[in-house]
Structure 1
Amino acid sequence: MERELLLECQRNDRNAQRKVYEKMAGKLYAVCRRYLKNDEDIEEAMADSFYKIFTRINQLQNPDIFEAWARKIAVNECLQKLRTSRELHISLEEDHAFSAGSVSEQGSFEKDILSLLNFLPEGCRAIFNLFAIEGYPHKEIASMLSISEGTSKSQLNFARKRLQQLMVSHNI
């Protein structure tokens, strides 16, 4: 992100904020989509994320890490949404029905994998995203979700196994 654009955002310049929004909206939408299924929840998490980004941008000391900082805000908003809308249940028994037509046959491998994440239980999906995609260590995930490190590790293991099963059943 351009330093000057971020400085203008720090001065509450609405045009600069609009430009930052336009540059970041797609990236943050993808982050939110990995955690939340409901479009209304995604939109709410995005709106809350951008609100926090623009109201806290003065706290950003290094403009070079803006995108990572903004992604972290979006992840935290999604986790908060999961916690408040319905308890973030970590369960190995919860499973979601799926049909063979649910995954795009012509989509890219990455898109297919990301769409399969929707078939994981909420807790497993959140842990998989935090560990495999966002790169958080188990200790930090455990702290963020108020679970033990062992639970984080077992949920990640369950998510990986379930994704492998889904990939086989969908010929991915």
Structure 2
Amino acid sequence: MERELLLECQRNNRNAQRKIYEKMAGRLYSVCRRYLKNDEDIEEVLADTFYKIFTKISQLQNPDIFEGWARKIAVNECLQKLRSSKALHISLDDEFSGSSDASAENISFEKDMLSLLSFLPEGCRAIFNLFAIEGYPHKEIASMLSISEGTSKSQLNFARKKLQELLGNQNI
């Protein structure tokens, strides 16, 4: 992200904010899509994310880390949404949504992966995303979700097994 654009954004320049929105909206939408299923929830979280970005951008010390900082805000907003909607039930007994014979031929790998992740229960999906995609360690995941490290590890294992089952059924 251009330093000057970020500085203008810190000065509440609406043009700069619009440019940042245009550059980042697609990327942050993809982040939100990994955590949330409902398009309305994604749009709401995305709006909250940009509100937080624009109101807190003056706290950003190093413009070189803007994209990572913005992604972290999006992830935290998604987790907040999951917590507030009580959707973040973490249990190995969660029903595996979707059938095991789901077939998604001739679609891009990214769409296929999003589709596969959508079959996971909310809690497992959140932990899988935080660990495997965002790179958070189990200790930090446990703290973020108010669970034990053991629960984080077992949910990750559960998610991996379900994804392997789906991959086996999709012939990818």
Scaled to the shorter chain, the TM-score interval is: over 0.9
- Once the two structures are superposed, residues 122-166 of structure 1 have per-residue CA deviations (whole angstroms, 9 ceiling, x without a partner) of 000000000000000000000000000000000000000100000
CA shift for structure 1 position 35: 0.1
CA shift for structure 1 position 112: 1.3
CA RMSD of aligned residues (A): 1.2
Give the aligned partner of residue 3 of structure 2.
Answer: 3
Which whole-Å CA distance do the structure 1 matches of 2:134 and 2:13 have between them? 30
TM-score normalized with structure 1 length: 0.96
Is 1:145 the counterpart of 2:145? The answer is yes
Give the aligned partner of residue 50 of structure 2.
Answer: 50
CA shift for structure 1 position 45: 0.4
- Once the two structures are superposed, residues 32-88 of structure 1 have per-residue CA deviations (whole angstroms, 9 ceiling, x without a partner) of 000000001000000000000000000000000000000000000000000001241
Give 3-state SS (helix, strand or coil) of 1:90's partner.
coil
Which whole-Å CA distance do the structure 2 matches of 1:135 and 1:78 have between them? 16
CA shift for structure 1 position 100: 4.6
Give the aligned partner of residue 36 of structure 1.
Answer: 36
CA shift for structure 1 position 102: 5.3
CA shift for structure 1 position 114: 2.4
Give the aligned partner of residue 128 of structure 1.
Answer: 128
How many equivalent residue pairs?
A: 171
Give the aligned partner of residue 117 of structure 1.
Answer: 117
**Percentage of matched positions with identical amino acids:** 81
Is 1:71 the counterpart of 2:64? The answer is no
Distance 1:102 1:34, change over 3 A: farther
Worse-superposed segment, 83-92 or 68-77: 83-92
Indicate if the aligned counterparts of 2:87 and 2:122 stay in contact, CA closer than 8 A. Answer: no
Is 1:97 the counterpart of 2:98? The answer is yes
Which whole-Å CA distance do the structure 2 matches of 1:42 and 1:100 have between them? 27
Is 1:169 the counterpart of 2:162? The answer is no
For 2:128, give the aligned amino acid: F
Which whole-Å CA distance do the structure 2 matches of 1:102 and 1:46 have between them? 29
5+ residue gaps in structure 2?
A: none
Which whole-Å CA distance do the structure 1 matches of 2:9 and 2:99 have between them? 44
Give 3-state SS (helix, strand or coil) of 2:37's partner.
coil
5+ residue gaps in structure 1?
A: none
Which whole-Å CA distance do the structure 1 matches of 2:110 and 2:157 have between them? 20
Which whole-Å CA distance do the structure 1 matches of 2:114 and 2:36 have between them? 12
